[in-house]
């Protein structure tokens, strides 16, 4: 069994490494990584100011947690002569391998059998939604979400007097790379046993990224604030396309969002936060015995449903928690439904007039699947006892 799991992880890692060293990646984000290397080489403490592009365009809209990995990849490129743009994808590739191990191990401890553990491993190690982001695209989402996956996985078996501290530090470590893992506080807070434990969890999660960002905030506070306020590109989510189907064409031409889409984009962060808090509060009251992974999976499905902004790397945030919750069919279905729009996204701009219609249709189908999976989670919660 262990050999089969490691074999799947090794196979998936090899595929990603081959992709990293034989493709140029997603041009926009790979250029960001090049800029990051140059900025860190010129003046690390002022890197956010250096990376503020023309017309105040943000060229690094994330916290500083990836800086050491980028610097290490640059040093390795100098020593080996290998391409920096390939080496810099390795941390996320290795994070995928770690996620695959963590999810299957957690399922085993919760009483799932060998078949489910192998399927969980394969869904990450061979999952197209994971491989295309770390191996091809060059995004760092798996590195950001890995510590939060570990936090949720260990919550029920960590020492009772230390679990909040451990989980908070892990979530905070992920939030140093991208802020998104902080959402997982909402998966764990309903499970705390006291206000003190809640304060420890939140305090540790907040303290880590604040400490990591402190030098940059002191050096160039305005540029840091501008960077972390980046909201993405409007009209990219399934909800946006549902409200304005014409947005399916925007990978080929600029489409002006209509009033409704523009409204939800401008208030997107508020809408998402309110929806997630409402789901966390509802499940805490209605399903107080839910495992944290179950609540986490529903939170991410809710995010996918209500967000006005969506890129395919966002799937890496939620899929590990669907798997941790034992919802393997749903995780497989999401990845299967995402294949066509993912391929179309990375092949844009399109020459065929049919491509925008197909893209919009498949994005709407994917959005509908989120709704179905969320409803199924509420109807049929899975809470296997810890082994």
pLDDT tens readout for residues 43-63: 999 999 998 866 667 889 999
Query: What integer is the mean pLDDT of 196-211?
Result: 98
Is 162 part of a structural domain of the chain? yes
At residue 387, does pLDDT exceed 60? Answer: no
352: confidence class by pLDDT, cuts 50, 70, 90: confident
Report the b/e string of 105-116 with b at 16+ CB within 10 A. Answer: ebbbebebeeeb
Query: What integer is the mean pLDDT of 171-176?
Result: 98
At residue 64, does pLDDT exceed 90? Answer: yes
Residue 92: its pLDDT value, please? 98
Is 194 part of a structural domain of the chain? yes
Residue 379: its pLDDT value, please? 85
230: confidence class by pLDDT, cuts 50, 70, 90: confident
pLDDT tens readout for residues 79-102: 999 999 999 999 999 999 999 999
Is 140 part of a structural domain of the chain? yes
385: confidence class by pLDDT, cuts 50, 70, 90: very low
pLDDT tens readout for residues 135-157: 999 999 999 999 999 999 999 99
* Least confident stretch, 174-178, 351-355, 382-386: 382-386
The pTM score is 0.95
Q: Which structural domain, as residue segments, surrounds residue 373?
A: 2-379
pLDDT tens readout for residues 366-381: 999 999 999 999 986 6
The dihedral over CA atoms of 238, 242, 245, 247, expressed in degrees to the nearest 10, equals -40
DSSP 245-314: GGGGGTTTS-----HHHHHHHHTHHHHHHHHHHHHHHHHHHH-TT--HHHHHHHHHHHHHHH-S---GGG
pLDDT tens readout for residues 324-338: 999 999 999 999 999
Closest CA to 318 of 130, 140, 189, 168: 130
CA distance 91 to 111: 31
Residue 253: its pLDDT value, please? 84
pLDDT tens readout for residues 20-43: 999 999 999 999 999 999 999 999
Residue 386: its pLDDT value, please? 40
Is 384 part of a structural domain of the chain? no
DSSP 98-138: HHHHHHHHHHHHTT--HHHHHHHHHHHHS-HHHHIIIIII-
Tell me which residue has tokens 């893992």: 181
What's the structural domain count of the chain?
A: 1
The phi, psi pair for 52, rounded to 5°, reads: -80, 110
CA 48 to each of CA 40, 59, 179, 184: distance values in angstroms, whole numbers, following the listed order: 9, 8, 16, 27
Residue-averaged pLDDT of the chain: 94
CA distance 60 to 52: 8
At residue 353, does pLDDT exceed 50? Answer: yes
Asked if 104 and 118 touch (Cβ cutoff 8 Å), the reply is yes
Is 385 part of a structural domain of the chain? no
Is 335 part of a structural domain of the chain? yes
pLDDT tens readout for residues 251-310: 888 888 899 999 999 998 999 999 999 999 999 999 998 999 999 999 999 999 999 999
Residue 384: its pLDDT value, please? 46
Residue 81: its pLDDT value, please? 97
At residue 311, does pLDDT exceed 70? Answer: yes
At residue 16, does pLDDT exceed 90? Answer: yes
């Amino acid at each position: 069994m262990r050999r089969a799991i490691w074999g799947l992880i090794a196979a998936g890692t090899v595929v990603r490494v081959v992709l990293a060293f034989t493709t140029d990646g997603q041009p926009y984000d790979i250029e960001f990584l090049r800029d990051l290397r140059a900025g860190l080489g010129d003046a690390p403490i002022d890197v956010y100011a250096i990376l503020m592009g023309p017309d105040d365009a943000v060229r690094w809209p994330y916290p500083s947690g990836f800086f050491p990995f980028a610097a290490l990849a640059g040093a390795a490129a100098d020593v080996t002569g290998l391409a920096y743009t390939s080496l810099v994808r390795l941390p996320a590739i290795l994070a995928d391998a770690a996620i695959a191990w963590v999810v299957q191990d957690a399922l085993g401890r919760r009483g799932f059998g060998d078949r489910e553990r192998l399927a969980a491993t394969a869904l990450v190690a061979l999952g197209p939604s994971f491989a295309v982001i770390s191996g091809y695209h060059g995004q760092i989402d798996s590195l950001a979400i890995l510590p939060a996956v570990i936090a949720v996985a260990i919550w029920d078996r960590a020492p009772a007097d230390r679990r909040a501290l451990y989980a908070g530090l892990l979530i905070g470590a992920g939030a140093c790379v991208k802020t998104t893992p902080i959402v997982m506080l909402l998966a764990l807070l309903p499970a705390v046993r006291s206000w003190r434990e809640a304060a420890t969890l939140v305090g540790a999660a907040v303290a880590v990224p604040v400490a990591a960002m402190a030098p940059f905030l002191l050096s160039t506070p305005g540029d840091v604030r501008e960077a972390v306020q980046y909201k993405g590109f409007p009209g990219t989510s399934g909800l946006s396309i549902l409200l304005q189907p014409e947005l399916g064409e925007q990978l080929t031409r600029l489409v002006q969002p209509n009033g409704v889409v523009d409204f939800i984009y401008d208030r997107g962060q508020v809408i998402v936060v309110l929806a997630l808090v409402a789901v966390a509060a509802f499940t805490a009251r209605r399903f107080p015995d839910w495992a944290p992974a179950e609540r986490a999976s529903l939170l991410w499905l809710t995010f996918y449903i209500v967000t006005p902004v969506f890129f395919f790397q966002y799937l890496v945030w939620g899929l590990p928690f669907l798997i941790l919750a034992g919802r393997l069919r749903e995780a497989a279905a999401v990845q299967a439904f995402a294949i066509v729009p993912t391929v179309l996204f990375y092949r844009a701009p399109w020459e065929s007039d049919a491509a925008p219609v197909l893209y919009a249709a498949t994005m709407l189908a994917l959005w509908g699947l989120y709704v179905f999976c969320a409803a199924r989670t509420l109807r049929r919660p899975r809470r296997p006892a810890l082994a």
